Amino acid sequence: MLMVGCETGQVPESTTIPLPASKTSPAGRQSMERRQSDVERFQEMNQVKVENKISPYRYVISTERFSIFGQLVQASSHSRTIHNGDVTLLCPTDDAFDNFDNWKMMRRRGNQQDIDDFVANHVIPITMTYDDFKSKDQHVTLAGTAIEVSTRGGISVNGAHVRSGHVTTENGSVIGLDDVVFIPLALR
């Protein structure tokens, strides 16, 4: 009895059989390299995380450029307010934390008040667009403090450069910052 093949129901990972390099023409090798490059690029594109726009809270914890601020928002007692309420979240980028080395100290045990103060001073308890935000001279934060908006030399709030535009979520908005708006007194 001769068995020709058997069916396992599994699809092979790659259906192409690589040709020995010595038997492939230069044009064929280029074509294979280009195809491999395209496959790798496509795989990278499929690995990009999708930004969650359900709420400002979900957006900031799912976006790579705001990952540090996202950690602080998650650790704060204001996370539910940010997730449930109509708020504008002023989000410093990860690069903004390069100028604020002490941010890791907030994550230590016993510094919950510093985390809460820091986050609350980056939340405005009303949904605003970028244009709404820059049209006023000042806004009151969730912490109750007034933050000053300046239009000289670009838009800034309390000296922090505001990035152009905003991201609209289902129940709020997010405005990016190149600096932090507030540093807790204990960390100055």
30-50 residue pLDDT tens: 877 877 777 676 666 555 456
Hey, what amino acid is at 136?
K
Distance CA(51)–CA(38), nearest Å, equals: 24
Tens of pLDDT, residue by residue over 143-171, are: 999 999 999 989 999 999 999 899 999 99
Is this prediction's pTM over 0.85? no
Taking alpha carbons only, the member of 182, 75, 77, 171 closest to residue 126 is: 171
Distance CA(89)–CA(72), nearest Å, equals: 13
3-state secondary structure of 42: helix
Domains of the chain: 56-187 (2.30.180.10)
Radius of gyration of the chain (CA): 25
Instruction: Give the CA distances from residue 25 to residues 38, 47, 108, in Å, rounded to whole numbers and listed in that order.
Output: 20, 33, 61
Tens of pLDDT, residue by residue over 57-111, are: 999 999 999 999 999 999 999 999 999 989 999 999 999 988 777 777 777 777 8
* Helix or strand run (H / E) with residue 160: strand 160-161
Angle at 73 between CA 70 and CA 75, to 5 degrees: 110
Average pLDDT (7-28) is: 58
- Tell me if 72 sits within 8 A of 106, measured CB to CB: yes
Tens of pLDDT, residue by residue over 123-150, are: 999 999 999 999 999 999 999 999 999 9
- Tell me if 139 sits within 8 A of 149, measured CB to CB: yes
Cβ atoms within 10 A of the Cβ of 1, count?
2
- In the β-sheet with 160-161, what is the strand arrangement from edge to edge? 138-140, 146-150, 156-157, 160-161
Distance CA(73)–CA(52), nearest Å, equals: 15
